[in-house]
Chains A and B, each alone.
Chain A
Amino acid sequence: MIAHVAWRLSRRAAVNLWRAPLPSLVSVLTIGLALFIGTTFVLGILAARSLLTSWGAQASMTLFLDPAMPDARAQAIAQQLRARGDLDVHYVTPAAALQRLRGDLGELGSALDGLSQNPLPPSLEIRPQKPLPGPTARVLAAEMGEIEGVRDVEFGREWLEKLEALGRGLRVFGAGALLAVIGAALVVVANTIRLAVYARRDEIEIMKLVGATDGYVRAPFLMEGALQGLLGATMAVGAVLGAQRWILPRAAQAFAFAAGVTAPHLLPLHAAALLAGGALVGFFGSWLAVSRFLKA
């Protein structure tokens, strides 16, 4: 008996969708739009964080050496660092540094002619071969500072800290905004489904009059809601995949500063989660809407 009742309720859900396509279509579109906005928002936040991380990871480091350090000792330190295998090391002599400064100053470079001696220390410019996240860059800088003869380590600490603060802010803002988007989407979806259910309040009343239990009344509506959610989520997944394929590559070309950053993509697991999420939103939206009429 349970099997044929379940089959009958499923059939009724499908027939109801077929007989009243417009309210169903509105629910499907609302759920699809809400999920699409939510997903693109999450992907946008992840892309922004990825961009910030890549900017932080590009930071290079300069080791300022003791001005009195012999050239051979400085070369030896450079060689020792190169031997680690993960760093590109470039030794800059005091003379080369002065020459570079003169070039940077342009016409004002002649001001340096009056110096009785070169005030610039020898230095080692270090660039990690693989991008380093902020905390790892700090550990490396501390390690470099321990080397005998190294007076100071410059690695753009302030810039890195600002980027990290921005990343933290983005995370907090992203979580808050995501909650707001999800909340708003749920309210809109629940109200849309409620309107569709409202149009069928007579049916609910008659079902109750002939002795249907609340569960029996609710079941086809829940199935319809889940099915609408699933269809909406399918639309959202299709739209996101379409945007990734056709819009994102053009957008990436337009933003040169983001070159080299891989935008997060919708993986099969994410798509499956989105489909399940859509079905759940439809299911619970219908539950809320029908409960209201069952109480009435």
Chain B
Amino acid sequence: MIQLRRVKKVYPGDPPVLDNISLKVDKGEFIWLTGPSGAGKSTLLRLLFCAEQPTSGQILIGGRNIGKLGQAAIPFLRRNIGIVFQDFKLLENRTVLENVGYALEVLGASDAEIRERARKRLDQVGLAHKCASLPRRLSGGEQQRVAIARALVNEPTILLADEPTGNLDPSLTDSILQLLFDANARGTTVVVATHDRGLLQRWHRRTVGLEHGKLVFDA
């Protein structure tokens, strides 16, 4: 599903952020991407959803080299990738339902279809009763659940999560991660970046370690 071949990312004047990374993630797999701050986890995720281009090497998604995608093709790739951030990235002046429906709007879905699918997804994350609320009225855990619902609403084949529990109270962590495991159980390939070793010990999954931009273990 995802394949990195000797990927390197260098910003001028700095040491490589990612150095010669080769990695293969199979369809339906769940992997932890771990390492200390500055190890290159977020950069690797950004390369996967084409927010940046690698300096060298190849990234293949579904067998397609995304480094060769034209600017106009990137939105269509992203429609197949759900993304979850540490800071939720919700629109403050839109309701919960509108935030989740946003990902369907760009696909050209009808209003009725957007409402129905967004409600269904919010129901799955336990927030059907908060459809009309604005994000600022929700707790951090609820906001992250809205962000996950948005990421999953158009049933992407890949879900990328960058420190999804980083801003949350530890008591909420498990419920958020359970949503990601549920998505994975439905067949979505999931890549989660985290520096929290406790998570890796509680939830045993394939773990890829990065340090100073190098892949240091894959177990």
Is A259 in the interface zone, CB < 8 Å from B?
A: no
- Contacts between chains A and B (CB distance < 8 A), count: 49
B93 lies within 8 A of chain A by Cβ: yes
What chain B residues lie within 8 Å of A213 (beta carbons)?
A: 72, 75, 106
Known: A1-B108, A4-B110, A5-B108. A207 touches B89 (CB 8 A): no
Q: Which of A196-211 contact B (CB under 8 A)?
A: 202-203, 205-211
Asked whether any CB of chain B lies closer than 8 Å to the CB of A162, the reply is: no
Judged by a CB distance under 8 angstroms, whether A216 is at the interface is yes
Query: Is A140 among interface residues, defined by CB-CB distance under 8 A?
Result: no
Determine which of A19, A207, A209, A214 lies in contact with B93 in the assembled complex, contact meaning CB atoms within 8 Å: A19
Given contact pairs A209-B83, A211-B79, A213-B72, A8 touches B91 in the complex (Cβ within 8 A): no
Which chain B residues numbered 101 to 152 have a C-beta less than 8 Å away from chain A? 102-103, 105-108, 110-111, 150
Cross-chain contact B91 with A211 (CB below 8 angstroms): no
- B side interface size, CB within 8 A: 22
Given contacts A19-B93, A202-B89, A205-B89, contact A211 B106 (CB under 8 A): yes
Q: Which of B136-176 contact A (CB under 8 A)?
A: 150
Instruction: Confirm or deny: A212 has a beta carbon within 8 angstroms of a beta carbon on chain B.
Output: yes
In the docked arrangement, what's the CA distance between A203 and B90, Å? 9
User: Smallest Cβ distance from A269 to chain B, in angstroms?
Assistant: 40
In the complex, which residue of chain A has the Cβ closest to the Cβ of B83? A209
- Pair B75/A202 contact, Cβ less than 8 Å: no
- Across the interface, do B91 and A202 meet the contact criterion of CB distance under 8 Å? yes
- B32 on the A face (CB < 8 A): no
Interface of A (DSSP majority class): helix
With contact pairs A19-B93, A202-B89, A213-B72 given, residues A207 and B102 touching in the complex (Cβ less than 8 Å): yes
Alpha-carbon gap, A206 to B75, bound state (A) = 12
Query: Given the complex, which residues of B lie within 8 Å of A202, measured CB to CB?
Result: 89, 91
Contact of A208 among B72, B75, B90, B110 (CB under 8 A): B75
How far apart are A227's CB and chain B's nearest CB, in angstroms?
A: 18
User: What residue in chain A is nearest B99 (Cβ atoms)?
Assistant: A206
Given A203-B91, A205-B89, A206-B102, residue A212 in contact with residue B75 (CB < 8 A): yes
| List of A residues within 8 angstroms of B105 by Cβ | 8
A207 with B110: in contact, given A213-B72, A213-B75 (CB under 8 Å)?
Answer: no
Contact yes or no, B75 A211, CB < 8 A: yes
Q: Which of B64-98 contact A (CB under 8 A)?
A: 71-72, 75-79, 83, 89-91, 93
Q: Which of A144-186 contact B (CB under 8 A)?
A: none
**Which A residues, 1 to 53, have Cβ-Cβ distances below 8 Å to chain B?**
1, 4-5, 8, 19-20
Residue of A whose beta carbon sits closest to that of B92: A202
A209 engages B106 (CB within 8 Å): no
Q: Tell me, rounded to whole Å, the shortest Cβ–Cβ distance linking B26 to chain A.
A: 24
List of A residues within 8 angstroms of B93 by Cβ? 19-20
Q: Would you list the 6 A-B pairs with minimal beta carbon distance, nearest first? A: A211-B79, A211-B78, A210-B103, A212-B106, A213-B75, A211-B75
Q: Could you list some 25 contacts between A and B, CB below 8 A?
A: A5-B108, A8-B111, A202-B91, A203-B91, A206-B90, A206-B91, A207-B102, A207-B106, A208-B75, A208-B78, A209-B49, A209-B78, A209-B83, A209-B89, A210-B79, A210-B106, A210-B150, A211-B75, A211-B77, A211-B79, A211-B107, A213-B75, A213-B106, A214-B75, A216-B75
Interface residues of B (CB under 8 A from A): 49, 71-72, 75-79, 83, 89-91, 93, 102-103, 105-108, 110-111, 150
